[in-house]
Amino acid sequence: MAAAQRIVIENCSIATVDANDTEYATGHIVVADNRIESLGAGRAPEGLENVVRRIDATGHLVTPGLINTHHHFYQWITRGLATDHNLFDWLVALYPTWARIDEPMVRSAAQGSLAMMARGGVTTAMDHHYVHPQGSGDLSGAIIGAARDMGVRFTLARGSMDRSEKDGGLPPDFAVETLEGALAATEETVRKHHDASFDAMTQVAVAPCSPFSISTELLRQGAELARRLGVRMHTHGSETVEEEKFCHELFGMGPTDYFESTGWLGEDVWMAHCVHMNDSDIAAFARTKTGVAHCPSSNARLAAGIARVPDMLAAGVPVGLGVDGTASNESGELHTELRNALLINRLGAHREAALNARQALRLGTFGGAQVLGRAAEIGSLEPGKLADLVLWKLDTLAHASIADPVTALVFGAAAPVTASFVNGRQIVEHGRLLTADEDAIARSTREQAQRLAGIAGQA
């Protein structure tokens, strides 16, 4: 076997986000191939062999790479629309346009979504893609290919819808799949693309869309499929008061009870939003270790409300952060969600005690790893874990007068990313992607957005 090649990073502050929240005011990290070999205070040990690169990270904070736990990449080409709508009205306004996407559009939108996150410190992304118009091409393959080319670790939540307007749902009739077709296509995607290995770059989850766009059978059989294949499960839950009313009217129970009745609570499940959760709902999530993807900017954009994140954390619910689709969070950046999660939760019942800077950083790193079922591999800086890490530059005008680097990162302006590594490979340098042409992606996304608008307008 070839000897491991090492990268040595020195003279940096380090927030490991390990179980003890270990931090080093000035420390080092040694990366060997795609793993973290060692880290600690002071300079790296002398005599290391096969050191191919040394990085003087003076003025930087090194953290685990950020982990996004909820997104809809295709929405990158429908940003800035329906800007003054609540969730249900927003969906009704946009579904007719979304239902006309095709493979070139989805590939371009995935590139835009991934590029924006990666240049801002995201090393693991996920996409919940649930719109599969007939004849639109290999959408799952296009999304996975975009993530592979970008060099980002990735989970595709293969979504589906089978409840359209004629059945009391929100999507147009031509925008949904059949129950059988959705299940078969989801199974094919898992078998073709899911990698269960420790250092997997691509994983797949089973992900019916939401209670108001899927049948009970799709939920129930989707859960059975996921557990038979040994993959995780994802959906939207308890996002708005309208959804809660919908579930009571249609199923005679609230969203959490409905999900539990269909097999959708468990440590292999995570749900997006979970804004309207009562004490019993939170207790059920904690008892079953069901995870939550908290999307503060999207929740605010759609006036959905403030999720009870402090109560969830106190109860032991795994919580990560999500960008959500960029038609409801036009910035598409996860690092700004650290700050927004902290600030928005302080508007809730717990006020200034809701979240602190280190809790916010944990949501965006280790919490995300828990939610995606990968806490043994990523989410903290520890020997043996995968080398997914970010160097944040904190010695410029924007941050230099803030003494505590974690406070600077979370409370301050969005910090520049000097370097971002995924699986030991650098993908960002001085805020620019090394794996893709950002200007070409910008042109492509504009062209595809205009093409989609033209097609939707003619329809």
Give the pLDDT confidence of 166-175 residue by residue, as tens digits. Answer: 888 878 888 8
* 8 Å CB contact between 317 and 286: yes
Query: Looking at residue 261, what is its pLDDT?
Result: 97
Cα separation, 318 vs 285, whole angstroms = 9
Angle, helices 216-229 vs 179-193, to 10°: value is 20
Tell me what the mean pLDDT of segment 206-227 comes to.
Answer: 96
Q: Is it the case that residue 242 has pLDDT exceeding 90?
A: no
- With CA atoms as reference, report the closest residue to 334 among 90, 154, 65, 79: 65
pLDDT digits (tens, 9 = 90+) for 2-30: 789 999 999 999 999 999 999 999 999 99
Asked if the model's pLDDT at residue 407 lies above 80, the reply is: yes
pLDDT given for residue 371 in this prediction: 98
What is the pLDDT of the chain when averaged over all its residues? Answer: 96
Is there a contact between 172 and 164 (Cβ–Cβ < 8 Å)? yes
Beta-bridge partner residues of 197: none
Q: How far is Cα 222 from Cα 216, in angstroms, rounded to an integer? A: 10
- Residues 375-403: pLDDT tens digits? 999 999 999 999 999 999 999 999 999 99
Residue (of 69, 78, 66, 10) closest to 43 by Cα position: 10
pLDDT of residue 212: 85
For position 254, what pLDDT does the model report? 95
Q: What is the DSSP letter of 83?
A: T
Residue range 113-150, pLDDT digits in tens: 999 999 999 999 999 999 999 899 999 999 999 999 99
Domain 66-372 indexed as CATH 3.20.20.140: yes
How is 341-383 classified by DSSP, letter by letter?
HHHHHTTSTTGGGS--HHHHHHIIIIIHHHHTT-TTTSSS--T
The full length of the chain comes to: 459
* Sole residue written with tokens 């950083």: 361
Q: Are 210 and 250 in contact (CB under 8 A)?
A: no
- Between helix 438-458 and helix 103-118 the angle, nearest 10°, is 140
In 252-367, which ranges are continuous DSSP H helix? 255-261, 279-288, 296-301, 309-315, 335-345, 357-362
Dihedral Cα 254, 256, 260, 264, nearest 10 deg: 130
Average pLDDT over residues 201-226: 96
Handedness of CA 363, 368, 370, 376 (dihedral sign): negative
Q: Rounded to two decimals, what is the model's pTM?
A: 0.97
Report the pLDDT value the prediction gives residue 22, as an integer from 0 to 100: 98
CATH of domain 6-64+380-433: 2.30.40.10
Q: Is the dihedral of CA 306, 310, 315, 321 positive or negative?
A: positive
Long-range contacts of 22-28 (CB under 8 A, 24+ apart): 23/406
Q: DSSP assignment of 88-152, as one string?
A: HHHHHHHHHHHTT--HHHHHHHHHHHHHHHHTTTEEEEEEEE----TT---HHHHHHHHHHHHT-
1 band by pLDDT with thresholds 50, 70 and 90: low
**What's 326's DSSP letter?**
T
Confidence band, pLDDT 50/70/90 cuts, at residue 164: confident
Asked whether this chain's domains 6-64+380-433 and 66-372 adopt the same fold, the reply is no
The whole-number pLDDT of residue 169 equals 80
Extents of the domains making up the chain: 6-64+380-433, 66-372
For residue 199, give both structure tokens: 């250092």
The tens digit of pLDDT for each residue in 46-64 reads 999 999 999 999 999 999 9
CA dist., res. 327 & res. 220, Å (int): 29
**Tens digit of pLDDT for each residue in 285-326?**
999 999 999 999 999 999 999 999 999 999 999 999 999 999
Whole-number Å distance between alpha carbons of 372 and 383: 20
